[in-house]
Structure 1
Amino acid sequence: MKRFYIYLLAFLLPVCCLAQETVIIKRKLTNAVKERVSVLKSDNVTKQGLYQALWDSKTVLANGSYTKNVKTGIWNFYDTKNNVIQRFNYTTNTLLYEAPEDSATNCRYVVDHTVRDTDRTTKPIVIGGRFFGYINYLRLFRLPPDMRNINNEVVVPTIELLVSPGGRLAEYIVHFQAENYDRKVGFNIDYLSDEDKTFIPATINGEPIACRIFIRCFLTSGGDLDLF
């Protein structure tokens, strides 16, 4: 019997050593969105365990889990009414569900191609859904110094993303429009992660095609872009 306990202790000891303690870190992504991410207590950097992004501190926009800084398993992404709009399996790199967009969406899609009524088309898809998936493009934005006095209640900003047939982000522009005012500003996509530059491309009749995504947003009083 003593030998059994010794063997059992020898088996459990490595398992206990592998279980590393984690803590929850809270961070601000935009004025309206905050994240709660589990990280290793030993370094406060390595993401390990559950992740959640919250809009208005109460409505979930994204939830899933990390394993050593890598998204793993099934993640769910939501709209601001708590409806699931996308489900993605990061372990198998598979889109499991993408909700159809309604007519009130803040996104529109334009292809440089004549589309006939008989054509079967699909839009480009950002992993993360139409709300959470675009947050890092908002975070990349910086208001040009000569536009700091712009009237944010009048000017309407629109993000333009060009997605190649290969599903790669090729261009990021922000248009600012108002009566008698029209300006566009380009941003360096090299500052984005490879994940943020990867899309499921648009298709026509099953063939991938380049497509531009236009995302209507607004300019905050602090000079940031936001969707909410």
Structure 2
Amino acid sequence: MSKFFILIMMFCGVQVCLAQTEVVRKNKITSQVTEKYNTVITADRQMKQGVYQAMYGKKVLLAQGKYADDKRVGLWRFFDKKQKLIQVFNYDTGKFIYEAPEDSTSSFKYEIEAKTTDSIIITKPLKQGGRYFGFLPYLRFFKMPQELQGYDPDDMNVVIELFITSMGQVAEFKMHFVAHYYKRTLSIDPGQLYPEDKTFKPATYNKEPISSHIFIVCQINKHGELDMNP
């Protein structure tokens, strides 16, 4: 191999290195949740690549999976704030592999617009990301009403309501505020949500998709942000 050819190869390798850079990013989703992932930067775009993790605090894993060319791929696992597994989703097939059952202590409640009997089989709507990580995008729309500034958060209830169509799309997004001698509902335009945050697997009624409501009882944490328990 000639020295000239070797120099050409070395030059091309340098050009490739200069044209593509990989950096590790850490972003705060909320005051308690931090995401960490690799970003590949080229001359014309930035994209997530490789392992992704989201942590609650510094020790509790909430989400773990991989990106390829800025898209989630393969199996992703999602956990609650006690690091209990609550969902496994396969992004290659678009299927829910596992969804943890809920009991009476869950902060999530569901309603369908149809009569129910013991012979009717009903499934709840499902969100990719599970009942904690998957619902974090809705919390960022929280804003304390001016008239409640300075009010003790322990004496207040905040309930998120989502109306999910039979097509699996968020059609209504509301926040209900209830305090002593006070009640107010704020409507939020679903158009402000990212497309992936508007998409659910709809509830079913005897295996047929049906519209539904999700109600999530939330708390205001010490940072003045909305939080929830799945």
Query: Which interval holds the TM-score relative to the shorter structure?
Result: 0.7 to 0.9
Give the C-alpha shift of residue 223 in structure 1: 3.9
Give the C-alpha shift of residue 98 in structure 1: 1.1
Give the C-alpha shift of residue 38 in structure 1: 1.3
Partners of 1:71 and 1:201 lie apart in 2 by: 21
Answer whether contact 1:148 1:223 (CA < 8 A) is retained: no
The answer on 1:24 being equivalent to 2:42 is: no
Q: Match of 1:136, SS?
A: helix
- Alignment TM-score, normalising by the size of structure 1: 0.86
Partners of 1:187 and 1:146 lie apart in 2 by: 19
Partners of 1:90 and 1:218 lie apart in 2 by: 31
Q: Matches of residues 1-228 of structure 1 in structure 2 within 5 Å?
A: 17=16, 21-42=21-42, 45-227=46-228
Partners of 1:222 and 1:186 lie apart in 2 by: 23
Give the C-alpha shift of residue 129 in structure 1: 0.1
Partners of 1:148 and 1:180 lie apart in 2 by: 15
What do the CA deviations read for 1:68-113 (whole angstroms, capped 9, x no partner)? 2211111111122222211111122121111111221110101121
Aligned residue identity for 2:215: F
Give the C-alpha shift of residue 149 in structure 1: 3.2
Moved more, 21-30 or 169-178: 21-30
Partners of 2:141 and 2:52 lie apart in 1 by: 22
Aligned residue identity for 1:27: N
Task: Please list every run of at least 4 consecutive aligned residues from structure 1 whose deviation after the TM superposition is greater than 6 angstroms.
Answer: none
Give the C-alpha shift of residue 35 in structure 1: 0.9
Aligned residue identity for 2:24: I
Q: Match of 1:133, SS?
A: helix
Moved more, 90-99 or 121-130: 90-99
Answer whether contact 1:88 1:95 (CA < 8 A) is retained: yes
Give the C-alpha shift of residue 204 in structure 1: 1.1
Provide structure 1 residue ranges, at least 5 long, that are not aligned to the other structure: none
Answer whether contact 1:46 1:69 (CA < 8 A) is retained: yes
Change beyond 3 A, Cα 1:83–1:20: farther
Aligned residue identity for 1:75: W
Partners of 1:42 and 1:203 lie apart in 2 by: 44
What do the CA deviations read for 1:7-37 (whole angstroms, capped 9, x no partner)? xxx8xx88xx599542221111112211112
Partners of 1:186 and 1:73 lie apart in 2 by: 36
Give the C-alpha shift of residue 211 in structure 1: 0.7
Answer whether contact 2:142 2:225 (CA < 8 A) is retained: yes
Provide structure 2 residue ranges, at least 5 long, that are not aligned to the other structure: none
Give the C-alpha shift of residue 215 in structure 1: 0.5
Aligned residue identity for 2:22: T
- Alignment TM-score, normalising by the size of structure 2: 0.86
The number of residues matched between the two structures is 220
Moved more, 205-214 or 175-184: 175-184
Moved more, 106-115 or 77-86: 77-86
Please give the root-mean-square deviation of Cα atoms over the aligned residues, in Å.
Answer: 2.6
Give the C-alpha shift of residue 173 in structure 1: 0.5
